[in-house]
């Protein structure tokens, strides 16, 4: 069969389908959005403060609140997955859950196995000096970073010395910009954190719905973060 | 060492050749712009990456043509006494391999996607402050990518036939591959939009079979040209008419009683040996150049053939051109 004939055949199949109703475009291959609407939304979490954590088996955090709002807008019940962390990720890859949250960023290592939304929240991760420290850079200075954080490498790359414990004389702190108080001084920008949430690959209608919902929450998330920092 | 005279294009063919060079520069310009547009729209979509990679490979025949066209012009020298005319045949081989490579890569990618049941993800994008399904943007870019190959491919074929340029034929074939892949990708994206995750890979896979077939065909032909197959027309249907024209020209020399010849391709040119049986009582050695001159006048492509004197009985043992499939003797239409 010649290719021209194949193309003609595909056209003749697709065009009637196309004319046959464009209520929702693109559609999901596995009808996730349709199923979740007035149904059940299966959600997994990667535990990370302040985005999503389990406290006595109950999910809490900024993204958890957003997911509850999303479920409400869709008239859906939430079924929280038992698994967290990489097990939850595996569940998403195998399509046993519909949504994975927990402070994931766009540069996460599994971007080829799951589908990320566009970043719904972007901010800088910076090094801040306390008021009156009179520092303009972190060259050769010790910088306190959260234990197990990738920020340690960023600090070292940019000339600082990463430390994980509070010691005498360590005044610089690596932290998200929303934790920087007005008195503090930003001496270096380490990287941008671009927050995303993940859905199974190829569920394009679902992806777009979640994407639009989270994008619309940027302001309220920002307010929640700054309020949290002030406490 | 005797060095061969340099080939000069007849005026009308030189004009066609210049047009071919112009078309190939145009092709490179357009294809680069397509590569850029696709690069800007592909984001992290695997489907578009394939189309992009393919368009990059698609420039190869045009580049091979231009490089070979330049080398071909070098006059024959001590190291290459026959000249550099075969660079065209080598460029044809390179182009054919590129087509096969494109087809093979596409086939591999789409088969892999189907086997892995990969569900292509196409989300939202923002353009000028509007939110838009990325698929529409991809379709727009792909539409742009299929127009120049269709137009250029059609412009190239008549020129290719005129100057018997097989690199140009291969390049036209590559452009057919380009636009067909573009159409397949558009159908694939629309299919994805309707929730058929397999649409993209299936459309690409079917098209790739055609491209592999084309590439294989050209590769085989290029190999046969380099192995000195008796020249045939660009589409390979018939023995090349130059064969018969050259034989007629040799026979038109008054003292030539019988003539037979074998020729091979050297890029645009045909060269080889002409065997003539002289009529009795003629000082044939002194008049051999008359045969060469007659052939040169009769056909621009037959360049600097060796003219050999043979006896009638020797000539009778040489078969004329044969049809490669049937083995039957055949003569081209005049």
Half-sphere exposure of A11 (CA within 13 A, CB side): 8
End-to-end C-alpha distance for chain B, whole angstroms: 38
Q: Which of A3, A11, A14 sits opposite B210 (nearest CB)?
A: A3
Mutation target to probe the A interface, by most A beta carbons within 10 A, among B49, B123, B132, B184 is B123
pLDDT digits (tens, 9 = 90+) for B5-23: 999 899 999 999 999 999 9
Burial class (CB in 10 A: 0-12, 13-18, 19+), A168: exposed
From chain B residues 154-183, the ones with a CB under 8 A of any chain A CB are 180, 183
Give the pLDDT band of residue B334 (cuts 50, 70, 90): very low
What is the CB neighbour count within 10 angstroms for residue A81? 19
Number of H helices, E strands in chain B: 10, 5
Rounded to the nearest 5 degrees, what angle is found at the Cα of A194, between the Cα atoms of A191 and A198?
A: 140
**B195 and A200 in contact by Cβ < 8 A?**
no
- Element of type H or E holding B298: helix B284-298
Per the prediction, chain B carries an average pLDDT of 89
Closest Cα of chain B to A62: distance in Å?
23
Residues in B closer than 8 angstroms to A17, CB to CB, are 194
A140-149 contacts, C-beta under 8 A, 24 or more apart: A141/A172, A142/A167, A142/A169, A142/A170, A142/A172, A143/A170, A143/A172, A143/A173, A143/A174, A144/A170, A144/A172, A144/A173, A144/A174, A145/A174, A146/A174, A149/A174
**What digits encode the pLDDT tens for the residues B192-230?**
999 999 998 898 898 899 899 999 999 999 999 999 999
Q: Is residue B84 a contact partner of residue B12, using CB atoms and an 8 Å limit?
A: no
For A70, other C-beta atoms within 10 Å of its C-beta total: 21
A163 torsion bin: left (phi>0), alpha (psi -120 to 50), beta (else): beta
Contacts of A26 in chain B (CB under 8 A): 122, 133, 135, 192-195
- Tens digit of each residue's pLDDT (9 = 90 or more) over B27-61: 999 999 999 998 888 755 666 677 788 888 889 99
Q: Which residues contact A46 (CB under 8 A, 6 or more apart)?
A: A52, A84, A85, A88, A89, A100, A101, A102, A103, A104
Task: Sort out which chain B residues have CB atoms less than 8 A from A10's CB and list them.
Answer: 187, 191, 203
State yes or no: cis peptide before B93, omega within 30 of 0. no
Average pLDDT value for residue range A69-74 = 96
Which residue bears the tokens 């239409």?
B333
pLDDT for A10 beyond 70:
no
Distances (CA, A) of A135 to A140, A142, A161: 12, 12, 15
Chain A contact set for B133 (CB, 8 A): 25-26, 204, 208
Which residue among A3, A18, A28 sits closest to B195, beta carbon to beta carbon?
Answer: A28
> Hey, what's the torsion of the CAs at B206, B209, B210, B214, to 10 degrees?
170
Q: What whole-number distance in Å separates Cα of residue B88 and Cα of residue B6?
A: 16
Measured CA to CA, the distance from residue A199 to residue A70 in angstroms comes to 14
A61 band by pLDDT with thresholds 50, 70 and 90: very high
- Pick the residue of B119, B127, B189, B205 with the most A CBs within 10 A to test the interface with A by mutation: B119
Does pLDDT of B333 surpass 50?
A: no
Task: State the Cα–Cα distance between residues A190 and A158, nearest whole angstrom.
Answer: 8
* Residue A173: both structure tokens together: 């702190």
Q: Do A211 and B195 touch (CB under 8 A)?
A: no
Whether residue A13 has a cis bond before it, omega within 30° of 0: no
- Measured CA to CA, the distance from residue A122 to residue B36 in angstroms comes to 28
Digit-coded pLDDT (tens) for A83-107: 788 899 999 999 999 999 999 998 8
Which tokens hold the place of B282? 């003629």
CB B182 within 8 A of CB B147: no
Is the pLDDT confidence value at A119 over 80? yes
Beta-carbon neighbour count of residue A103 at 10 Å? 21
Element (H, E) at B130: strand B130-133
What is the least distance, in Å, from the CA of A118 to any CA of chain B? 8
B20 vs A: CB within 8 A = no
- Across the interface, whether the CB atoms of B118 and A201 are under 8 A apart is answered yes
Give the residue from chain A lying closest to B121, CA to CA.
A202
**What is the sign of the dihedral through the CA atoms of B310, B312, B318 and B319?**
positive
Residues A18, B207: C-beta atoms closer than 8 Å: no
| CB within 8 Å: B187 and A17 | no
Query: Looking at this predicted complex, what is its ipTM?
Result: 0.80
Q: pLDDT for A182-208, tens place per residue?
A: 889 999 999 999 999 999 999 999 999
Give pLDDT, residue A17: 59
Residues in chain A with CB shorter than 8 Å from the CB of B210 are 2-3
Would you state the pLDDT for residue A99? 97
Q: Would the CB atoms of A208 and B123 count as touching at under 8 Å?
A: yes
- Mind giving me the DSSP string for B42-107? HTT-HHHHHHHHHHHHTTHHHHHHHHHHHHHTSPP-SS-TT-STTHHHHHHHHHHHHHHHHHHHHH
Could B207 and A3 be called an inter-chain contact, meaning their C-beta atoms sit closer than 8 Å? Answer: yes
Closest residue in A to B208 (Cα–Cα): A3
Contact call for residues B310 and B275 (beta carbons, < 8 A):
yes
Checking if the pLDDT of B156 tops 70, the result is yes
At which residue do the structure tokens 């591999």 appear?
A: B108
- H, E, C per residue of B11-27: HHHHHHHHHHHHHHHHH
pLDDT tops 70 at residue B305: yes
- For residue B126, name the pLDDT band (cuts at 50, 70, 90): confident
Block residue for tokens 């005026």: B11
Q: pLDDT category, A16, cuts 50, 70, 90?
A: low
**pLDDT tens profile B80-99:** 999 999 999 999 999 999 99
- List the 308-327 stretch of B: residues with Cβ below 8 A of A: none
A184: helix, coil or strand?
A: coil
Best B47, B103, B124 member to test A by mutation, with max A CBs in 10 Å, is B124
From chain A, pick out residues whose CB is under 8 angstroms from the CB of B124.
118, 207-208, 211-212
- In chain B, what percentage of residues exceed pLDDT 70? 93
Q: Shortest CB distance from B123 goes to which of A14, A18, A117? A: A117
Helix B166-193 and helix A3-19: axis angle, to 10°?
20
pLDDT at B110 over 80: yes
| Residue B330 pLDDT level (bands cut at 50, 70, 90) | low
Query: Which residue from B123, B191, B207 is facing A14, i.e. has the nearest CB?
Result: B191
Supply the pTM of this predicted model. 0.81
For chain A, where are the E strands, in sequence order?
A: 40-45, 53-55, 58-60, 77-84, 99-105, 115-116, 121-129, 142-144, 161-163, 172-176, 185-199
CA distances from A202 to A28, A102, B109, B141 (A): 7, 21, 17, 21
How far apart, in Å, are the Cα atoms of B119 and each of A204, B212, B325? 9, 25, 47
> Which pLDDT value is given to residue A11?
66
Name the residue among A212, A213, A205 with its Cα closest to residue A28: A205
* B249 CA: distance to closest CA in chain A (Å): 42
Tokens 């159908």 map to which residue? B187
- The count of C-alpha atoms lying within 13 angstroms of the C-alpha of A106, restricted to the half-sphere facing its C-beta, is 13
Q: Using a CB-CB distance cutoff of 8 angstroms, which residues of chain B are in contact with residue A33?
A: none
């Amino acid at each position: 069969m010649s290719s021209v004939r194949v193309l003609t055949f595909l056209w003749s199949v697709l065009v009637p389908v196309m004319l046959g109703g464009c209520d929702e475009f693109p559609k999901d291959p596995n009808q996730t959005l349709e199923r979740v609407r007035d149904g059940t939304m299966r959600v997994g979490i990667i535990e990370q403060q302040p985005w999503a954590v389990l406290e006595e088996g109950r999910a809490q955090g900024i993204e958890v609140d957003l997911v509850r709002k999303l479920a409400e807008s869709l008239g859906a019940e939430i079924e929280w997955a038992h698994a967290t962390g990489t097990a939850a990720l595996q569940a998403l890859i195998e399509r046993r859950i519909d949504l994975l949250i927990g402070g994931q960023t766009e540069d996460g290592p599994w971007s080829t196995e799951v589908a990320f939304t566009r970043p719904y929240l972007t901010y800088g991760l910076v090094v801040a000096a306390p008021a009156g420290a009179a520092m303009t850079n972190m060259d050769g200075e010790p910088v306190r970073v959260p234990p197990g954080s990738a920020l340690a490498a960023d600090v070292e790359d940019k000339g600082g010395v990463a430390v994980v414990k509070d010691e005498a004389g360590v005044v610089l702190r690596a932290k998200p910009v929303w934790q920087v108080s007005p008195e503090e001084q930003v001496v270096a920008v380490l990287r941008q954190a671009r927050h995303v949430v993940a859905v199974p690959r190829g569920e394009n209608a679902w992806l777009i719905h979640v994407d639009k919902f989270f994008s619309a929450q940027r302001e309220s998330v920002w307010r929640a973060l700054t309020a949290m920092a002030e406490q | 060492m005797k060095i061969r005279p340099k080939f000069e294009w007849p005026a009308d063919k030189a004009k066609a050749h210049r047009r071919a060079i112009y078309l190939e520069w145009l092709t490179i310009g357009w294809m680069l712009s397509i590569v850029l547009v696709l690069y800007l729209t592909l984001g992290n979509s695997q489907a578009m990456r394939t189309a992009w990679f393919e368009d990059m490979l698609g420039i190869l025949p045009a580049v091979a043509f231009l490089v070979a066209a330049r080398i071909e012009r070098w006059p024959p020298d001590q190291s290459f006494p026959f000249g550099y005319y075969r660079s065209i045949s080598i460029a044809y081989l390179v182009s054919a391999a590129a087509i096969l490579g494109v087809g093979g890569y596409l086939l591999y990618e789409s088969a892999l996607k189907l086997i892995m049941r990969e569900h292509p993800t196409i989300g939202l994008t923002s353009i000028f402050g509007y939110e838009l399904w990325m698929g529409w943007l991809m379709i727009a870019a792909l539409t742009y990518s299929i127009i120049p190959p269709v137009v250029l491919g059609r412009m190239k074929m008549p020129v290719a036939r005129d100057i018997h340029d097989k690199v140009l034929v291969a390049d036209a074939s590559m452009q057919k591959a380009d636009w067909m892949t573009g159409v397949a990708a558009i159908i694939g994206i629309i299919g994805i939009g309707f929730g058929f995750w397999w649409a993209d890979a299936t459309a690409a896979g079917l098209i790739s079979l055609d491209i592999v077939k084309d590439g294989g065909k050209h590769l085989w032909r290029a190999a046969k040209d380099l192995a000195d197959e008796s020249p045939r027309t660009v589409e390979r249907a018939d023995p090349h008419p130059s064969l018969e024209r050259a034989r007629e020209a040799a026979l038109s020399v008054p003292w030539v009683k019988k003539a037979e010849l074998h020729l091979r391709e050297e890029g645009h040119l045909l060269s080889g040996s002409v065997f003539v049986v002289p009529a009795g009582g003629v000082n044939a050695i002194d008049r051999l150049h008359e045969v060469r001159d007659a052939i040169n006048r009769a056909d621009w492509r037959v360049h600097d053939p060796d003219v050999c004197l043979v006896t009638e009985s020797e000539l009778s043992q040489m078969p004329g051109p044969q049809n490669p499939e049937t083995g039957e003797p055949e003569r081209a239409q005049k």
